[in-house]
Amino acid sequence: MKFIDLETYPRRRILEAFATCEVPCLSVTNLVDITGVKTVCEQAGCSFFVGMTFLISKAVNRVPELRHRLIEGKLVEFERVDPGYTVLLKDRTFSFCDSRHYEDFPSYRDHAEICIDLVKQCPDLGTGEKHHMFFITNLPWFSFTAITHPYQKRYASVPVISLGQYVAQGERILIPIAIQVNHALVDGIHLGDFYAHLSSMCHAPGRYVVP
């Protein structure tokens, strides 16, 4: 983690304009073509969720602004941010699941599967230190065109990403992926970067999701 000097930070005026908003959130939803992702996940011996969140985690970490956080009034940048998931339980409730980002897929897959299995046995709804994370929620029961999440001031600068039910459109398979961010730190152009990275990897998933 490194501190960013606001005197040389090019978005300082934008940060100051939005940081005082009661709810400074910016949320968008985009359809992402995942036609080959499900097949590649099956070949790699993992669930679609694990494979897809790996690509999402790589895309998030490639955008510096999505690794920026406001902590006690200070602007910081994490070298790496880690995903946290919501995991459905047998009683139709859910647990939080703190995982870790890895650049290679086998390490990511193995760690994610262990973490998911652990919270299924011992659910966790803790809200401890999570500035180094971003959150992923999974809604495979329906598709959507927009979504909002509860706002917690302490973690206002932590991105929240949502996956919906994927749908067939001709020969393509599309999935709605939403991202909610703090507009004091992230602009539309940075969200465009995120979706560009993610779409590029989804178009050639076999280069990233490997056994």
pLDDT, tens only, 22-31 = 999 999 999 9
Residues 109, 50 contacting (CB under 8 angstroms): yes
Alpha carbon of residue 3 to chain centroid: 22
Q: What is the pLDDT of residues 2-24, one digit of tens each?
A: 999 999 999 999 999 999 999 99
pLDDT of residue 44: 92
The pLDDT score that the predictor gives to residue 127 is 77
Interhelix angle 48-61/105-121, rounded to 10 degrees, is: 120
How far apart, in whole angstroms, are the C-alpha atoms of residue 94 and residue 108? 22
Is it the case that residue 81 has pLDDT exceeding 90? yes
- pTM over the 0.85 mark: yes
User: Which pLDDT value is given to residue 74?
Assistant: 95
The string of pLDDT tens digits covering residues 101-129 is 999 999 999 999 999 999 999 999 887 89
DSSP calls for 68-93: EEEETTEEEE-S--EEEEEEE-TTS-
Return d(Cα 3, Cα 1) in angstroms, integer: 7
Say yes or no to pLDDT of 45 above 80: yes
